[in-house]
Amino acid sequence: MEFKSVGIKGLGYYVPEKVMTNFDFEKIIDTSDEWIRTRTGIEERRFAAVDQATSDLCVEAAKKALDRANMTVEDLDLILVATCTPDYLVQATACLVQHKLGGKNIPCFDLNAACSGFIYGLTVANGMIKGGVYKNILVIGAETLSRIIDMQDRNTCILFGDGAAAAVVGEVEEGYGILSTYLGAEGEDDDILRTPAGGTKKPNDAQTIENRENFVKMKGQDVFKFAVHALPNATKNALNTADVSANDLTMIFPHQANVRIIESAAKRIHVPIEKFYMNLQKFGNTSSASVGLALGEALEKGLVKKGDLIALTGFGAGLTYGSIIMRWTY
């Protein structure tokens, strides 16, 4: 059975205006610009305004993606938001996005694969369109991580930022679009990277708030060890399925967590570091938004052109990982 070619018809991204530099953190916690830059590569990140929630970031990115695809909300058959920082625990952020975009009766749901969220979302959309369920799907990766980081915990708070990336996914010219997808997860119930309280396992109470368990906690070195294998392995698996080699790639868009993780992945798959697009210096780790934000900025700079072979690759809490190989569509 021949499947249609599915790809991104329009991509848009949005970051809030407020810039939070490493020097701003020096005033709040015991850290330094030098430590953050040399250990992570991050120089600044964006924080949402007090009246902005994840759905608001989504809407800004979505409008740009729809414009680029020459479509309106009426053309959409599904809205899918990948996020681990939804507006509310109950009521999908995707539903709020539908309303704010002026859509009616469009199915909507959220997906939580943490930093692999954009890649998971695109994979779901690809399958649904190839399977004939829907024609045009809006996939958004968006986070307001500034609301779940502990500003007293220097191990985590310096890493994360807010932002959104949106892609209109649909049928594209034959031979273009998504050539392969690869997803995985290691779901052990450990505390490597999670928000301990506020879910059904441990609802928030005075004690969890006092212990600051309502904020994200991370064992940085454990995530680091996982990432340096997960990132290259996921990319290799997707390359194999697409039957292309790493040398054929014009550019790789990795999850923007840490420049040292990306450098290690580059060595493991024998691709020059210059081919790994990075904007973590400016935006930090924006989790579900990160890979889309990187691709969006590269497109804006004219660094990706129609026909280029690119890889999206990520890892995150769960622990999840995934990669997509695509031939760029516009």
Q: Which stretch binds ligand UT7 (CB under 6 A): 16-24, 132-140, 164-172, 218-226?
A: 218-226
| Residue 11 per-residue DSSP state | E
Active-site residue, 115 included:
yes
**The one among 221, 240, 245, 247 contacting ligand UT7 by CB under 6 A:** 221
Q: Which of 33, 35, 217, 263 is close enough to bind ligand UT7 by CB under 6 A?
A: 35
Binding flag, residue 281, ligand UT7 (CB under 6 A): no
CA distance 113 to 120: 7
Backbone dihedral angles phi then psi of residue 81, each to the nearest 5 degrees: -110, 120
Nearer to ligand UT7, 66 or 227 (CB): 227
Among 115, 168, 178, 231, binds ligand UT7 (CB under 6 A): 115
Contacts 24+ apart (CB under 8 A), 25-32: 25/154, 25/157, 25/158, 28/151, 29/151, 29/152, 29/154, 29/157, 29/158, 30/154, 31/154, 31/158
Which of 83-91, 152-160, 200-208, 293-301 is the region at the interface with ligand UT7 (rule: CB under 6 A)? Answer: 152-160
Q: In the bound complex, what is the minimum distance in angstroms from residue 327's beta carbon to ligand UT7?
A: 27
Helix axes 259-268, 220-242, angle to 10 degrees: 40
Q: Does residue 285 have an active-site annotation?
A: yes
Active site residue: 112, 136, 255, 279, which one?
255
Tell whether residue 285 is a contact of ligand UT7 (CB under 6 A). Answer: yes
Beta strand ranges found along the chain (DSSP E) = 6-14, 18-21, 44-47, 78-82, 108-111, 137-144, 162-171, 177-185, 193-194, 217-218, 251-254, 309-316, 320-327
Determine which one of 58, 84, 115, 157 is catalytic: 115
Question: Which of the stretches 5-13, 35-43, 143-151, 235-243 binds ligand UT7 when contact is defined by CB under 6 A?
Answer: 35-43
Q: Which of 18, 135, 147, 154 binds ligand UT7 (CB under 6 A)?
A: 154
Unique residue bearing structure tokens 């250990």 = 39
319 binds ligand UT7 (CB under 6 A): no
Residues 239-258 as x/- pattern, contact with ligand UT7 by CB under 6 A = ------------------xx
Give the integer Cα–Cα distance in Å for 179 and 77.
22
Helices then strands, each counted (H, E), the chain:
10, 13
109: Cβ–Cβ under 8 A, 6 or more apart, which residues?
A: 80, 81, 92, 94
Q: Is 284 in the site for ligand UT7 (CB under 6 A)?
A: no
Angle of helix 93-100 relative to helix 54-68, nearest 10 degrees? 60
Binding status of residue 155 toward ligand UT7 by CB under 6 A: yes
- SS3 assignment, position 160: strand
Residue 217: CB minimum distance to ligand UT7, A: 11
227 binds ligand UT7 (CB under 6 A): yes
What amino acid positions are annotated as catalytic residues? Answer: 115, 255, 285
| Contact positions vs ligand UT7 (CB under 6 A) | 31, 35-36, 39-40, 115, 154-155, 158, 218, 220-221, 223-224, 227, 257-258, 285, 287, 316
